[in-house]
Structure 1
Amino acid sequence: MMSEAEAAGCRLVHFPEGAVSGYVKSQIADWAGVDWSALREELDAVAVHAARLELWTVLGCNHRLTPPNRPHNSLYVISDKGTLVGRYGKRLCSHTELNAWYAPGAESLVFDIDGVRFGLALCIEVQFPELFLDYAKQGVDCMRFSAYSDTPMYGMLARAHAAMNNFWFSLSIPALPGNRLSACLIGPDGHVLAKAEGNGDALIIGKIDRSNPQFDIALEKARPWRAAARSGEIYAERRVTDPRSDDRISFFRVHPTGM
């Protein structure tokens, strides 16, 4: 799929949660059964291929820590030179992940490609809007969101985050039988631009184009205005001192003159 993406002119390819390592409770029953050496060889091979294709690659993989610490559930960012430029560790792990499988990560991660800024999130984190608000404050243009899930709610939340924060949103999930959710690319207006059809392997191709008039309102009007609104400044300078405003347990009063 990396080769297919490069042949289609892509600069970045994005894969699901656990794409290389497998996911716990599905492919992994016990950490002791993981061949970490083989997994490292696969990661090195992906990095070599990324350099060969000159293709940025984001992929999900478990990241081994020093025993007895549990691994991180991570996304690796490999540059078009084949260099690992960053790793995102899932910060908001599920109850089961936190208590039986993973150590949580601690920081957000942003990276830039050709003047476009990307942010990363994983699976259940889609249920926490504060993460995406923080990425918006960091100037992210496109979220790369990987999951090992088929719940349709994830798709609804992804569209909501894209529309509320006015950034593109890439949703990558594994091709599993009976999927109720489709991998997709969502525009900064919350509309789906492209999505996988059926449950088989599929490569979704999209373009991040800020000059597209389709996104003029989302990018040139809504995004800067919402940033100003969230800062509170446009409201603070217009607040008034008025006893009727301070009195919040009475209906408004009508003066004989109508004021």
Structure 2
Amino acid sequence: MRIALSQIAAGTDPKDNLAAVRAQARAAAQAGARIVVLPEATMTRFGIPLGPVAEPLDGPWATEVRSIAQAEGIVVVAGMFTPAPDGRVTNTLIATGPGVEASYDKIHLYDAFGFAESDTVAPGAEIVTIDVDDVRFGLATCYDIRFPELFRAHADAGAAVSLLPASWGAGPGKRDQWDLLLRARALDATIWLAAVGQADPTTIGEPTRGSAPTGIGYSAVVGPDGRMREQLGAGPGLLVADLDIAEVASVRQKVSVLANRRLPLG
């Protein structure tokens, strides 16, 4: 299974960011990828009011993402914001393309490191998977990576790969935590983990923006044995990777952490 991770630095104009989706989907398709994954907040970066730019899944932004996916013959996963019933927004992944139409609302909200995502974002509650060429993918977003039960739920639902769009917050030790958490979650669930973050905006001449999580880069593919297989740097880039799906069963035979669970505890 060939996948592509598109590490972009999203701006504040959803139309400009759609142009990036189009270019990245085309490049990924030309490289032979079956799915291209863009970061959390691809629609617009964090650090601005999200309510005015949020749109429903049948709105113009998502509709254009669908058009791009169909035109390029590739599944596109990208972060956007949709209106929530309580006046907040939801931090949503759209997954769309040939044979795929789904969305995932971020379950675990980033109320940490001086940022309160829940002030403006409502949490999701549903585990979501998609199937591409008979391979099942679980969907997660950024801060979800700190909660191993979600990735084990992906595995229990039959997923061989977890996809993690992110817009990781910068700060002391945050890069180390990113790498550690990606490797740990892959090994916890003995699953391929493909994580794509927003590029570090300073690499394209943009300033940092307080506590808003606007990205550090370092998108990565981690194997089901917890080994880092490929990784980008801080700046924008496209990572194309071939995942050996059979490796999941091989690792699970050797490291039977899913089969050896004893629940409930306590």
TM-score bracket for the superposition, by shorter chain length: 0.7 to 0.9
Q: Tell which deviates more after alignment, 48-57 or 178-187.
A: 178-187
Structure 1 residue runs without a partner (length 5+): 233-259
In terms of fraction of residues, the more helix-rich structure is: 1
Q: Superposition pairs for residues 101-116 of structure 1, below 5 Å?
A: 101-116=120-135
Q: Are residues 1:159 and 2:183 paired?
A: yes
Amino acid at match of 1:77: A
| Structure 1 position 46, deviation (Å) | 1.8
C-alpha displacement of 1:91:
1.1
Quick one: distance in 2 between partners of 1:180 and 1:44? Answer: 29
Question: Where in structure 2 are there 5+ consecutive unaligned residues?
Answer: 1-23, 204-214
Q: Separation in 2 of the partners of 1:71 and 1:180? A: 24
The structure-2 alpha-carbon separation of the partners of 1:158 and 1:141, relative to structure 1 and needing over 3 Å to count, comes to same
Equivalent pairs counted in the alignment come to: 218
Residue 91 of structure 1 pairs with residue 107 of structure 2: yes
Q: CA deviation at 1:166?
A: 1.1
AA of the residue aligned to 1:79: G
Counterpart position of 1:236 = none
State whether structure 2 residue 90 is matched by structure 1 residue 72.
Answer: yes
CA deviation after TM superposition for structure 1 residue 36, in Å = 4.5
Within the candidate set 219, 226, 251, 1:218 is matched to 251
Change beyond 3 A, Cα 1:221–1:88: same
Q: Which has the larger displacement, 86-95 or 40-49?
A: 40-49
Q: Secondary structure at the match of 1:111?
A: strand
Percent identity between matched residues is 26
Which protein has the bigger strand share? Answer: 2
Q: Does 1:192 align with 2:235?
A: no
Q: Distance in 1 between matches of 2:50 and 2:224?
A: 40
CA distance in 1, matches of 2:50, 2:217: 28
**13-22 or 170-179, which deviates more:** 170-179
Partner amino acid, structure 1, of 2:159: V
CA deviations over 1:140-191 (Å, ceiling 9, x no partner): 1111011111421122101111122111101111112266550111111111
Quick one: which amino acid aligns to residue 259 of structure 2? A
Question: For residues 59-85 of structure 1, what are the alpha-carbon distances to aligned partners after superposition, in whole Å with 9 as ceiling and x for unaligned?
Answer: 00011234x52111111110226x6x1
- For 1:36 and 1:134, how far apart are their aligned partners in 2? 29
Distance 1:121 1:106 in 2: 12
Distance 2:81 2:148 in 1: 24
SS at match of 1:21: coil
Match of 1:201 in 2: 236
1:99-142 deviation per Cα after TM superposition (whole angstroms, max 9, x unaligned): x1111111110111112111111111111112122222112111
Alignment of 1:51-66 (within 5 A): 51-66=70-85
| 2:69 alignment partner, one of 50, 62, 65 | 50
Counterpart for residue 172 of structure 1: 196
Using the alignment, how far apart are the partners of 2:83 and 2:123 within structure 1? Answer: 12
Asked if 1 retains the 8 angstrom alpha-carbon contact of 2:54 and 2:80, the reply is no
User: CA RMSD of the aligned region, Å?
Assistant: 2.3
What amino acid sits opposite 1:31 in the alignment? Answer: G
Q: Which amino acid aligns with 1:93?
A: L
Computing the radius of gyration from Cα coordinates, the structure with the larger value is 1
Residue of structure 2 equivalent to 1:144: 163
1:192–1:30 Cα change, 3 Å: closer
Q: Counterpart of 1:182?
A: 218
User: Whole-Å Cα distance in 1 between the matches of residues 50 and 140 of structure 2?
Assistant: 25
Alignment partner, residue 207 of structure 2:
none
